C-alpha cells in the first residue's frame, strides 16, 4: 500500500521518521507532506495514497488549528487513519472534552474556565492549581500555581500571550498514567498503562521541556503501571467509555492521574499521540507484545476495516445491458462503482441522434457511453478525479465510442470553456448529472452534498443557463429523497417551465450503513426529516427506504 503522512512543519520531530521505518518494514510505500502544504496537496494525497496518517501537533503555529489539517484532508475524500476531524475538534477543546467526559460519568479534576482577567477563583478551588490553555498540546503554557494570587497572575499572562480560554483545575497529587487504546480484530483494546516516574522528571507535572526531551537508549522515567486487578479493570472500563464518549477511532491516548484515594481523574485526550518508539503508545504496545511494525500495521488495519482494503478490491469488470446493446466497463478500485440507479438512468435517457451532450461527474463513463450509443454526435464528460477521467476514456474506447466522447478535468461547469457557452452551436441539447448528495452536518468525504444534500444539485441547476440549449435542451438529474426533494423541485421550477419526475425507485438502507461513513449521519437524517427537508420511511427490522428520483427538466426560463 501507499501511505501518506502529514507532519508538523513548525516543530518537526522523529515521529514521521519512525513511522516511515515501520512502513518500510511492512513493505509499504509512503509520501511525506508538511502540514503547511496540506491545503495544496490534500487532493494528491487522496488520489495517490490508500490511507493518510495525520500526525500534526500544530498548524500554522497553533494547536487550536490542528484539526483543520484533518478537515482539509476529509474534504478531498482522504481515507484517514485515526479519529475524524469532528472528534479531533472535540478532543482538542479541553473545555468541551471535559464536559463530554463528565456527562459520561468519567471523573475529571474540579476546576473552572478563565475567559478573561476578571474571572475570580472560587473559595472551594484550593491551591495548588494547574493552569492550561484550552487548545494547546505538549504542555505548552502549562503552569502550576501554589497560591490563588500566583494563579491569577499566571492566568493574566497566559490570556495575554495565547489569546484563548484557560482551564484552572485543582492539582491532583498521586500517580500520573498514560493509557493507550488501539482498535484490533476483536474490537477496542486497552493497552497496558504507562506510569511516569516523577522522581526522574524533577517536577510534579509533565512540562513542555520534559516532553520535548530526546530520549536515547532505555527510558528510565517511565515504567509499566503496576495496578491491582480491581483497579486495572476499572481503568479499562473508564478508558473505553471515554474513547466512545469523544467519538474516537482506531487509536488514542488518555493522560490521567490516580489520586491517593484511588480515583482515576482523566486530564485530557490525545488523538495524535506521539508515535516514537520510546513514547507511551509504542511502549504500551510493546508490553502488549506488539513490536513497532505490528503497532503500525494494527493502526492501518483498523482504518482498512472501515474503508475496505483497496488491495483486495482491485479493478472490477461489469457488463450492463442497455436498450442499445451491452456495455462493458472496467471500474478501478477507487472509482465509484455504478449503482443500480445510474444504470436505470442510462436506460431512460432521451438523447437523439446528432445531439450534443454534457455529462457532469462522469465516474466510469456509463452515462456518456449510453448517450453516445444513442447517437449523440458529441459527449463532453467531466470529473475532478483523474482516475475517473482515465476510466471514462478507456471505457469509451473499449465500447467503440472513443471518438464521440471528450474527457475534461474540472468541477462541474468549470471544466468547460467559453466556446461551450456560445450562442451558435456551442451549447448542449442534454445535460445529465448524478452529483454527490448525501446530507451531513459536516464534510465527510466525496459523497457529501451539503447540509441538506442539495449543494451540488443546485450548482448543476443554476449553471444550465450558460450551457443548455434554451429551445429544446433537457436536464436529466438523478436525485435521492434524502436530499430535500421539495426544495430541489422548487429550485428546478424556478429555472425550467417543464419539470417531471419520470420514474421513482426504492433504495433500502440501514442506520449502520451511513454511520460507518461518518458518525452522526443518521441522526442528521432524522433531524432533516422532522423539519421536512428529507423523505424516507421505516421498513421494519431496523431498515429504512428512500427513493431515487429520475428527473427531467426542459424549457429553460430566461433570467
User: What ranges do the domains of the chain cover?
Assistant: 2-81, 89-307, 312-556
Tell which CATH classification among 3.40.50.300, 3.20.20.140, 3.40.50.1100, 3.30.470.20 matches the domain 89-307: 3.30.470.20
Give the per-residue pLDDT at 12: 44
Predicted local distance difference test score (pLDDT) of residue 21 = 80
The reply to whether omega before 112 is within 30° of 0 (cis) is no
Question: Is the fold of 2-81 the same as that of 89-307?
Answer: no
Spatial separation of the C-alpha atoms in residues 231 and 460, rounded to whole Å: 59
Per-residue pLDDT tens digits of the chain, which is 559 residues long: 788 888 876 444 555 677 888 788 878 888 888 888 888 888 888 878 889 999 887 777 777 788 899 999 998 888 999 999 999 999 988 889 999 999 999 999 998 888 888 888 888 988 898 888 877 766 666 788 888 888 888 888 888 887 888 888 899 989 999 999 999 888 899 999 999 887 654 456 665 555 556 666 677 788 999 999 999 999 999 999 999 999 999 999 999 999 999 999 999 899 988 888 888 899 999 999 999 899 999 999 999 888 876 555 567 888 999 999 999 998 887 788 888 999 999 999 999 999 999 999 999 999 999 999 999 999 999 998 888 999 999 999 989 999 999 999 988 998 887 666 544 446 899 999 999 999 999 888 888 999 999 999 999 999 998 899 998 999 999 999 999 999 999 999 999 999 999 999 999 999 988 888 888 999 999 999 999 999 999 998 889 999 999 999 999 998 7
Strands (E), 288-338: 316-322, 325-331
- Cα gap 242→254, rounded to integer Å: 9
pTM for this model (two decimals): 0.58
> 191 burial class (0-12, 13-18, 19+ CB within 10 angstroms)?
buried
Residues 6 or more apart whose CB falls under 8 angstroms from that of 162 comprise 133, 136, 141
CATH of domain 312-556: 3.40.50.150
> Residue 187: how many CB atoms within 10 A of its CB?
7
Sort strands 251-258 and 264-270 into parallel, antiparallel or unpaired: antiparallel
Return d(Cα 329, Cα 332) in angstroms, integer.
10
Return the CATH number of 2-81, one of 3.90.650.10, 3.40.50.10660, 3.30.230.10, 3.40.640.10.
Answer: 3.40.50.10660
Q: Which of 428, 546, 551 is nearest to 488 (CA)?
A: 551
Beta strand spans in 84-205 (E): 111-114, 129-133, 143-145, 166-170, 175-184, 187-190, 194-196
Interatomic CA distance for residues 98 and 268, integer angstroms: 8
Amino acid at each position: 500500500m501507499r501511505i501518506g503522512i502529514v507532519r508538523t512543519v513548525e516543530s518537526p520531530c522523529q515521529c514521521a521518521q519512525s513511522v516511515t521505518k515501520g512502513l518500510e518494514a511492512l513493505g509499504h510505500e509512503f509520501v511525506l507532506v508538511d502540514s503547511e502544504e496540506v491545503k495544496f496537496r490534500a487532493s494528491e494525497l487522496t488520489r495517490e495514497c490508500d490511507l493518510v496518517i495525520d500526525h500534526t501537533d500544530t498548524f500554522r503555529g497553533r494547536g487550536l488549528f490542528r484539526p483543520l489539517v484533518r478537515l482539509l484532508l476529509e474534504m478531498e475524500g482522504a481515507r484517514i487513519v485515526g479519529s475524524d476531524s469532528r472528534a479531533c475538534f472535540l478532543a482538542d477543546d479541553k473545555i468541551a472534552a471535559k464536559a463530554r467526559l463528565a456527562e459520561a460519568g468519567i471523573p475529571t479534576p474540579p476546576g473552572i474556565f478563565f475567559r478573561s482577567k476578571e474571572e475570580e477563583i472560587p473559595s472551594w478551588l484550593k491551591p495548588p492549581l494547574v493552569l492550561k490553555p484550552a487548545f494547546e498540546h505538549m504542555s505548552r503554557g502549562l503552569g502550576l500555581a501554589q497560591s490563588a494570587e500566583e494563579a491569577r497572575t499566571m492566568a493574566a499572562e497566559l490570556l495575554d500571550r495565547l489569546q484563548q480560554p484557560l482551564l484552572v483545575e485543582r492539582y491532583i497529587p498521586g500517580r500520573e498514567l498514560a493509557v493507550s487504546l488501539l482498535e484490533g480484530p476483536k474490537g477496542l483494546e486497552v493497552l497496558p498503562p504507562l506510569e511516569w516516574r516523577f522522581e526522574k522528571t524533577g517536577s510534579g507535572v509533565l512540562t513542555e521541556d520534559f516532553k520535548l526531551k530526546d530520549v536515547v537508549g532505555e527510558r528510565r522515567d517511565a515504567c509499566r503501571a503496576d495496578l491491582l486487578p480491581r483497579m486495572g479493570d476499572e481503568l479499562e472500563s473508564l478508558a473505553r467509555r471515554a474513547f466512545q464518549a469523544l467519538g474516537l477511532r482506531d487509536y488514542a491516548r488518555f493522560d490521567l492521574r490516580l489520586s491517593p484515594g484511588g480515583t482515576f481523574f482523566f486530564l485530557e485526550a490525545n488523538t495524535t499521540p506521539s508515535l516514537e518508539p520510546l513514547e507511551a503508545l509504542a511502549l504500551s504496545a510493546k508490553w502488549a507484545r506488539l513490536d513497532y511494525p505490528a503497532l503500525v500495521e494494527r493502526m492501518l488495519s483498523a482504518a482498512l476495516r472501515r474503508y475496505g482494503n483497496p488491495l483486495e478490491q482491485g479493478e472490477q469488470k461489469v457488463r450492463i445491458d442497455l436498450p442499445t446493446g451491452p456495455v462493458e466497463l472496467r471500474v478501478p478500485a477507487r472509482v465509484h462503482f455504478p449503482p443500480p440507479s445510474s444504470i436505470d438512468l442510462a436506460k431512460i435517457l432521451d438523447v437523439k441522434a446528432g445531439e450534443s451532450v454534457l455529462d457532469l461527474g462522469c465516474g466510469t463513463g456509463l452515462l456518456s457511453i449510453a448517450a453516445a450509443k444513442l447517437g449523440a454526435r458529441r459527449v463532453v464528460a467531466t470529473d475532478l478525479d483523474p482516475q475517473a477521467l482515465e476510466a471514462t476514456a478507456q471505457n469509451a474506447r473499449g465500447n467503440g465510442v472513443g471518438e464521440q466522447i471528450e474527457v475534461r478535468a474540472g468541477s462541474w461547469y468549470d471544466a468547460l470553456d467559453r466556446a461551450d457557452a456560445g450562442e451558435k452551436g456551442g451549447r448542449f441539447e442534454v445535460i445529465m448529472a448524478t452529483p454527490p448528495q448525501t446530507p451531513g452536518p459536516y464534510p465527510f468525504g466525496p459523497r457529501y452534498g451539503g447540509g441538506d444534500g442539495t449543494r451540488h444539485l443546485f450548482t448543476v441547476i443554476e449553471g444550465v443557463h450558460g450551457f443548455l440549449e434554451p429551445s429544446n435542451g433537457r436536464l436529466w438529474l438523478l436525485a435521492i429523497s434524502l436530499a430535500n426533494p421539495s426544495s430541489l423541485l422548487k429550485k428546478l421550477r424556478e429555472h425550467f417551465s417543464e419539470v417531471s419526475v419520470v420514474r421513482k425507485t426504492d433504495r433500502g438502507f440501514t442506520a449502520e450503513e451511513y454511520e460507518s461513513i461518518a458518525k452522526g449521519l443518521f441522526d442528521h437524517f432524522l433531524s432533516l426529516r422532522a423539519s421536512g427537508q428529507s423523505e424516507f420511511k421505516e421498513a421494519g427490522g431496523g431498515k429504512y427506504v428512500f427513493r431515487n428520483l429520475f428527473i427531467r427538466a426542459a424549457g429553460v426560463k430566461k433570467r
